[in-house]
Amino acid sequence: MKIVNQQRFHSQVTALELGYGIIGRPLMNVYCYLIGGTLIDSGQTKMALAMKSFVLTRRIEHLLLTHHHEDHSGNAAMIARSCGALVMGHPLTAHKMGHIRPILPYQHLVWGQSRKVAVSPLPEVVASGGYRFSPIHTPGHSKDHTVYLEGQHGWLFSGDLYLGDRIKFFRSDEKIDQQIQSLKIVLQHDFESLFCAHNPVLKNGKDRLRRKLAYLEDIAGAVGLLLTKGLPEKEIIRRMDRRQDRFIKFVTMGNVSFANMIRSAIRAS
């Protein structure tokens, strides 16, 4: 099943929702956002035709990548080639997109492989069409993760920083301490709308990020308490695991699981 859905938010933000499912509904849909001539994230290569149809009818000047993961960078090369858009991102994003590495089977099936593309460095502010996007480096979900604040309108284009108030799992390379710090940094800024790449929140976005921060801090605190009792990693995971991730854990061969969140908290303690 494929999902292609366009929405207008605040009359100025066009959201393109893309979903691809091998059998049945997609595991997770992806949102890309167009504001004036600036596109934030490019969607998965499995939905390249839909994205190409979208961008060819519009003037795309800049493509801002939040990070290198396939569901965000998958169509960057196609967009640069088709529209002449300048692809921009964090230096680590530029390195990742210039040195594409093999991905896991589930990532091929759900999103597809990104293609190599040149990524230009980000200025302090990306100004275009009367909009001003301030990049904020927010590692934790990935080393290169970057969000974009449009402070004039109170919009935060947050990539995968949010996802939900109480997330159920981590990728194996995520770092809970870095995510906590990144959330604290972003919460120092003013914004109302949270343009998440998978779960947009148009009102009270800052409060939703506070809830995410509190949840991660609770997880880290609970793990720290169990560590002070001398419990080994396996026992801590057994006590805290809510067993809500079995399907995802199976499909991803353990690359995505709740246990990864606990392991990250243990390593950070």
pLDDT digits (tens), the chain, 269 positions: 899 999 999 999 999 999 999 888 888 899 999 999 999 999 999 999 999 999 999 999 999 999 999 999 999 999 999 999 999 999 999 999 999 999 999 999 999 999 999 999 999 999 999 999 999 999 999 999 999 999 999 999 999 999 999 999 999 999 999 999 999 999 999 999 999 999 999 999 999 999 999 999 999 999 999 999 999 999 999 999 877 778 889 889 899 999 999 999 999 99
The answer to whether residue 49 sits within a structural domain is yes
Cα angle, residue 127 at apex, residues 122 and 132 outer, rounded to 5°: 100
Nearest to 114 by CA among 63, 161, 177: 63
The pLDDT value recorded for residue 27 is 83
The amino acid present at 36, given as its one-letter code, is G
The answer to whether residue 249 sits within a structural domain is no
To the question of pTM greater than 0.85 for the whole model, the response is: yes
- Number of folded domains that form the chain: 1
Helix (H, G, I), strand (E, B) or coil at 141: coil
| C-alpha separations of 165 from 113, 144, 239 in Å | 29, 22, 21
**Structural domain containing residue 107:** 2-210
The pLDDT value recorded for residue 245 is 79
Which residues are paired to 20 by β-bridges?
2
The pLDDT value recorded for residue 22 is 84
The answer to whether residue 219 sits within a structural domain is no
Q: Rounded distance, CA 140 to CA 177, Å?
A: 7
The answer to whether residue 259 sits within a structural domain is no
The answer to whether residue 55 sits within a structural domain is yes
Q: Rounded distance, CA 149 to CA 156, Å?
A: 5
CATH number at residue 116: 3.60.15.10
The pLDDT value recorded for residue 243 is 79
The pLDDT value recorded for residue 31 is 98
The answer to whether residue 138 sits within a structural domain is yes
The answer to whether residue 238 sits within a structural domain is no
The answer to whether residue 240 sits within a structural domain is no
